[in-house]
Amino acid sequence: MGGIEPFASQPIDRAEHELSEFDKRVDALVNLLSHPSRALMRVDEMRNSIESLPPDEYDRTLYYEKWIHAVAEIMVAKDVIGEEELVLKLADLKEEDGEEA
Amino acid sequence: MSGDHHDHLHTHDDHAPVGATEPRPEYARLERAVRELLIAKGVLTAEDIRKQIELMDSRTPAMGAKIVARAWVDPAFKARLMANAKAAADEMGVDTSNSATVVALENTPERHHVVVCTLCSCYPKAILGVPPAWYKSSAYRARTVKEPRKVLAEFGTSLPEGTEIRVVDSTADMRYLVVPMRPAGTEGWSEDRLAALVGRDSMIGTALADTPKN
């Protein structure tokens, strides 16, 4: 990001923001999964996943949204979670939320 | 908020606020799905997550302030802090066992350090807690390396022209703790009283330690 436009011409929003419960849970998942006792992900893998987002998606995605995207991608890539079971689980939750699966 | 989350994708500000708002529904579901699957598989437990969040909530810049105050009053501790900040933090009861290397940087009248992470948001969380939203913002990360004096001025920190500003870029493997200058007029103060002058931003380098109020 060093010196990169348009960011280098933008004002810094200095407002303080509390973390949401979602933010905290995602942060906890990353810490637990990357702890040496599990060693299921590393920060470089997370960055690789986040930086592979298309630029427009990157821009509109919140900080911890990017993190959970990376966690899911890495867990599936390492077969800790099966891709199919994740898709099924998401469909279930979507139905629970009252959206068309 | 509108029930149609697509509104969110077409706001005037293309750069979403960081850590500020609730996630979009698909990301909320993704977190729940991943968490529940990991628990079902025994990779981690709900209790692990609860304890990890408690630990996060317990970590505040007050820990860093205690370390800085000790360094101000105890030259031997300061020498240990400058040599190995993690070990010095451990001495003060701060658990840094799962943290990357931490390097302490001393601010002096000749040289002021300010920390940024241009790549992402690396921060000494074990010592300072979670970083402020602005530290993670694209603007802070882009501008601090380019015009540090102007950025510092926006934070209300104006340094003499003669003071060199050294911008330090954090990485995944190395984090930085700035040791601000001890304010004048604090001779003989207790560590607790001194620690109250050490704000979070002074340990990132965007601010100075507070000056004592009469």
* Per-residue pLDDT tens over the stretch B129-163: 989 989 998 899 999 999 999 999 999 999 999 99
Under an 8 A CB cutoff, do A13 and B145 touch? no
Q: Taking CB atoms and an 8 Å limit, are A13 and B139 in contact across chains?
A: yes
CB contact under 8 A, B19 and A81: no
Q: State the CATH architecture for B60-204.
A: Alpha-Beta Complex (3.90)
Model pLDDT, residue B41:
97
Strand ranges (E), chain B: 101-106, 111-116, 164-169, 174-179
B166 DSSP β-pair partners: B113
Tell whether the model's pLDDT for residue A5 goes beyond 90: no
Tell whether the model's pLDDT for residue A100 goes beyond 80. Answer: no
d(CA B129, nearest CA chain A) in Å: 12
pTM of structure: 0.83
A93 and B138: CB-CB below 8 Å?
Answer: no
Cα B188 → chain centroid: 28
| Beta partners for residue B112, in sequence order | B165
Find chain A residues with C-beta within 8 A of B134's C-beta. Answer: 12-15
The reported pLDDT for the residue numbered A4 is: 83
In degrees to the nearest 10, what's the CA dihedral of B82, B87, B89, B92? -120
* Domain annotation for chain A: domains and CATH numbers: 20-96 (1.10.472.20)
Cα distance between the two ends of chain B = 46
Neighbours of B16 (CB within 10 A): 19
Residue of B nearest to A66 (CA): B27
A72:B30 CB<8 A: yes
Q: In the prediction, which pLDDT does B213 show?
A: 82
Q: Which DSSP letter does residue B8 get? A: G
Determine which of A60, A76, A85 to mutate to test the interface with B (most B C-beta atoms within 10 Å).
A60
pLDDT of the residue at B96: 86
Q: Quote the radius of gyration of chain A (alpha carbons, Å).
A: 16
Three-state secondary structure call for residue B167: strand
What pLDDT sits at residue B21?
A: 79
Question: pLDDT grade, residue B171 (50/70/90)?
Answer: confident
Cα angle, residue B143 at apex, residues B141 and B145 outer, rounded to 5°: 80
Tens digit of each residue's pLDDT (9 = 90 or more) over A58-85: 888 999 999 999 999 999 999 999 999 9
Q: Cis bond leading into B25, ω under 30°?
A: no
Chain B residue with CA closest to A99: the answer is B25
Q: What is the pLDDT of residue A16?
A: 86
Note the pLDDT of residue B14: 41
- Cα–Cα distance measured from residue A2 to residue B153, given in angstroms and rounded to the nearest whole number: 19
- The CA–CA distances, whole Å, from B1 to A9, A13, A15, B4, B13 equal 30, 22, 20, 8, 16
CA atoms within 13 A on the CB side of B169: 12
Best interface-test mutation with B: which of A46, A53, A68, A85 has the largest number of B CBs within 10 A?
A: A68
**Digit-coded pLDDT (tens) for B72-124:** 999 999 999 999 999 999 999 998 887 889 999 999 999 999 999 998 888 99
User: Does residue B125 register a pLDDT over 50?
Assistant: yes
Domain positions in chain B: 25-58, 60-204
